[in-house]
Amino acid sequence: MKDLIEIRWHGRGGQGAKTASLLLADAAFNTGKYIQGFPEYGPERMGAPITAYNRISTKPITIHSNIYEPDYVVVVDDSLLESVDVTSGLKDDGAIVINTTKDSDYIRNNLNGYKGEVFTIDAREISLSTLGKYFPNTPMLAAIVHVTGIMSDEEFLNDMQGSFMHKFAKKPEVIEGNMKALEMSLTKVKKI
């Protein structure tokens, strides 16, 4: 991992992009990294486009602004490819991770000429098969951890087990499904 990694999340209100960015910050912090995880607030409402950010570093972070030139972008909802410039400022030596089942031609045609690496994952299928409902943030969280290498898959899964036990203390029945979603997602990320 390089000294500082910046990640921008694009999703829609209610899909959990903000929650995923905060969970990523917590997991990175627990592996000894310096972190920031924050949303950008506007007139958000259920279904409206939202943005969240992460900074993860091996050194103290002195920057306190939005991220304009991210190393990585996570797109939780592929319909945003047609309405939001998700590649704005994205570094060519970084990558974009998209929740989609669309073909590579469609994806490339909607990335404004972005030349860097592109990864896809079907977060819908994973969350429906492991959780019984569509919660794309859990698979997308695992996908970005896997693509960035911020921590090992094993460190990530161990940390998330503890995090879910705390977060879902009153609903322990959902822990197993969330862990299965993470495990499956780590193996289902595809580079196109």
Tens-digit pLDDT profile for residues 92-140: 999 999 999 999 999 999 999 999 999 999 999 999 999 999 999 999 9
Q: Is the pLDDT of residue 157 over 80?
A: yes
* CA dist., res. 141 & res. 163, Å (int): 13
pTM score, two decimals?
0.93
- Torsion angle of C-alpha atoms 178, 160, 15, 88, degrees rounded to 10: -140
Collapsed DSSP state (helix, strand, coil) of residue 14:
coil
Pairing of strands 190-191, 72-75: unpaired
- Can you spell out the DSSP letters for 67-107? -SS-SEEEES-GGGGGTS-TTTT--TTSEEEEE--S-HHHH
- The predicted model gives 145-168 an average pLDDT of 92
Side-chain half-sphere exposure of 55, counting CA atoms within 13 A: 18
Task: Determine the pLDDT at residue 44.
Answer: 58
Better-predicted residue by pLDDT, 46 or 40: 40
4 in Cβ contact with 59 (< 8 Å): yes
Task: Determine the pLDDT at residue 42.
Answer: 65
Collapsed DSSP state (helix, strand, coil) of residue 191:
strand
* CA dist., res. 147 & res. 72, Å (int): 9
Task: Determine the pLDDT at residue 14.
Answer: 85
Task: Determine the pLDDT at residue 29.
Answer: 95
- Torsion angle of C-alpha atoms 170, 165, 13, 184, degrees rounded to 10: -130
Q: Is the pLDDT of residue 166 over 90?
A: no
Better-predicted residue by pLDDT, 42 or 175: 175
Better-predicted residue by pLDDT, 170 or 85: 85
The secondary structure element, H or E, covering residue 185 is helix 175-188
Residues whose CB falls within 8 Å of the CB of residue 87, separated by 6 or more in sequence, listed in order = 73, 96, 111, 112, 114
Q: Taking all residues of the chain, what is their mean pLDDT, rounded to a whole number?
A: 93
- The predicted model gives 42-64 an average pLDDT of 87
- Can you spell out the DSSP letters for 32-72? T-EEEEEEE-SS--TTSEEEEEEEEESS-----S--SS-SE
Say if residue 190 is exposed, middle or buried (CB neighbours under 10 Å; 0-12, 13-18, 19+): exposed
